Structure 1
Amino acid sequence: MTNRALNFNAGPAALPLEVLQQAQEQFVDYHSAGMSIMEMSHRSAAFEQVNNETQALMRKLYGIPDNYKVLFLQGGASTQFSMIPLNLLQAGKPGAYVNTGSWAIKALKEAQLVGETVIAATSEADKFNRIPALDSIEVPDNASYLHITSNETIEGTQFAQFPTLSPAVPLIADMSSDIMSRPVDISQFGVIYAGAQKNLGPSGVTIVIIRDDLAASSPKHVPTMLRYDTHAKADSLYNTPPSFSVYMVNLVLKWIETKGGVAALEQYNRDKTKLIYDTIDHSGGFYRGFAQADSRSVMNITFRLQTEELEKQFVKESEQQGFVGLKGHRSVGGLRASTYNAVPLENCKALAEFMTDFQRRNG
């Protein structure tokens, strides 16, 4: 297959070609069942096997301890913005938020509808081009939790390390755009959540990794579908799950395993993004990275040119060369290359070469 786009979309994003081909082979007839997995009952033995195996693969590859639940939910990270405070924000104990940009703001706004919040740190004065220093994060002793967005997809910034908190304050992380792109110590977190559609599969399934005690403590006044204990008790099968999306996550996890696991992927991702960051840094100012160097994302590379007209020309010419998704988010403009797990090194090399050639012709 030679007509694959050079896909740098921010999400839904590139999936491994091998995974797509395997899904294609099994699409009409899953394991000789005479039907697609999309047609099967979620109560069937075949789907329960997929559900259980996908959880087990996540535990193995991501080092998830036994005292955490792995849930496959729906509604994207945007629904988690509400579920976190609905389940974990206690009266008289504010939810603390680190404000790092567009997605952190959305999470904060939803929490403000539920109860008391505080901003523990912010980089708003610098237009969110950096992650606040860990020692600048001020968390009230009585906080219900501290919420962070580990990677800001729109601004292109990422936490290099994570805050260390007292055991009484759970750390909550929206990892939608960098989950399983690098190893993390799961035991540092009370909850990790992520839409699958950037690093782990197609849109439609949201992964929640939640410590048992937090999963069990959902207030009884919260609607049934918005309570973590509902889904934890039912092993993510309380209602009809996004079965095809879970199956696709299963295939992607197996692909990650064949690539050497999460640690190997981290090095691969760093090698990929270095090609593009080096091109920016060695351009003599023709390309200007948006994020400060120590806050740069390994998943989303954001940069600008001298004029918006030149940026439009860059996008137009890149599309003519088969590149997809290099236009920056409409809220901030500029340019962005998203280099998630399934984006091949060859695509990043091709982009670096295109950028060098574009500068040669327009510099």
Structure 2
Amino acid sequence: MSRAYNFCAGPAALPQAVLEQAQQEMLDYRGLGLSIMEMSHRDNVFVEIAEQAEKDLRDLMGISDDYAVLFLQGGASSQFAMVPMNLLGDGETADYINTGQWSKKAIKEAGRYGNINVAASSEDTNFSTVPLQESWNLSDNPAYVHYCPNETIGGLEYSFVPQVGDTPLVADMSSTILSRPIDVNQYGLIYAGAQKNIGPAGLTLVVIRKDLLGKAANNVPAMLNYQTHADNDSMYNTPPTFAWYLSGLVFSWLKKQGGVGNMGEINQRKAEKLYHFIDHSGLYSNPVEVISRSRMNVPFVLADDRLDKPFLDQAQAAGLLNLKGHRSVGGMRASIYNAVPEAAVDALIDFMAEFEKKNA
């Protein structure tokens, strides 16, 4: 079977080695006569899988015992509500930075639960820039500061980690987690939907400093309280077992690739290649300021949008899939997460060069 190169923003490419292992174990997991999908989450075998996945994730990200790691359902969008439900007390204010569509959604949802201060926004530049931190209008004593380090839709990425003192920093890392080293200790809470760099859709990771647990009001439902999940090892209810298992395989694969340090170097190289080609092209362009360009999601537009459909049709025929940009911004977008090999970027550049030559 010949596999295509998948540039989808999410659900995204998974490592072929992981898919092959899951395929081998699908019907009969290690001689037990049943699939992972049929196994109780209380079974010692699955508990071992879950514990190993958490251990590998902690190793990869350098997560200390000061943090709880939660494997949840609901996608990152559920975290737009769970964060303020758990961290924003009565009469308190939370600060949000607006740098794209996912930030906007988080701000709108958080506004249902308390006072929200939009401390900075780049909407006036059509989200092509990240506001310098010196320009932010932070509250005097916010409950937390929330930002999205990488906006998947617009391809906008922070080149810095916000410095907010003792205030908990909350980050939606759905599209950057595990793509490079980070210092987890700079954050109060990190959340990420799985379907980009972790595993299949259906699982959401939350890494939360333990001193931030237990702050939810009494009327917050048990399923939306981080303390509930921390107290029950993410098994208060039946978790998404297959997604958890597959994510564990991805963590193991990442360790075999040399960890997030090596992946960061590969991802930097992939992005630099693609941006270099775009910047030296007469047909393609990228709208984001250079210092704020995403290493994971590379949007680009063609000089003549009448060429969009032929470009996509011919790309698909060449085995280059899911290059259409998000409906809210148009154009094209190549998402080049960990599981997208460097050869895929090389093939995309070759195709783009040939397409430009034919349509100059």
Name the TM-score, length of structure 1 as normaliser: 0.98
After superposition, residues 153-168 of structure 1 pair within 5 angstroms as 153-167=152-166
In the TM superposition, structure 1's runs of 4+ consecutive aligned residues that sit over 6 Å from their partners are: none
Structure 1 residue aligned with 2:77: 78
Structure 2 residue aligned with 1:240: 238
Amino acid at match of 1:222: V
* CA deviations over 1:52-84 (Å, ceiling 9, x no partner): 111111111101111000000000001000000
Amino acid at match of 2:123: E
Amino acid at match of 2:305: E
Q: Secondary structure at the match of 2:112?
A: helix
Structure 2 residue aligned with 1:190: 188
Partners of 1:41 and 1:74 in 2: how far apart? 17
Match for residue 274 of structure 2 among 276, 280, 289? 276
Partners of 1:35 and 1:131 in 2: how far apart? 50
Amino acid at match of 1:332: V
* CA deviations over 1:6-55 (Å, ceiling 9, x no partner): 10001000000000000000111111111011111111100110111111
Instruction: Please tell me whether residue 114 in structure 1 is matched to residue 113 in structure 2.
Output: yes
CA contact (8 A) 1:73 1:208 kept: yes
CA contact (8 A) 1:134 1:162 kept: no
Q: CA deviation at 1:291?
A: 1.2
| Identical-pair percentage | 49
After superposition, residues 212-361 of structure 1 pair within 5 angstroms as 212-284=210-282, 286-361=283-358
Unaligned runs of 5+ in 1: none
Amino acid at match of 2:338: N
Equivalenced residues, count: 360
Partners of 1:349 and 1:236 in 2: how far apart? 40
Partners of 1:136 and 1:181 in 2: how far apart? 28
CA contact (8 A) 2:92 2:114 kept: no
Instruction: Please tell me whether residue 199 in structure 1 is matched to residue 205 in structure 2.
Output: no
CA contact (8 A) 2:70 2:207 kept: yes
Structure 2 residue aligned with 1:211: 209
Unaligned runs of 5+ in 2: none
Amino acid at match of 1:185: D
After superposition, residues 131-170 of structure 1 pair within 5 angstroms as 131-167=130-166, 169-170=167-168
CA contact (8 A) 2:122 2:128 kept: yes
Q: CA deviation at 1:217?
A: 2.2
Q: Secondary structure at the match of 1:118?
A: strand
Q: CA deviation at 1:212?
A: 0.2
Amino acid at match of 2:289: Q
Structure 1 residue aligned with 2:41: 42
Name the TM-score, length of structure 2 as normaliser: 0.98
Q: CA deviation at 1:305?
A: 1.0
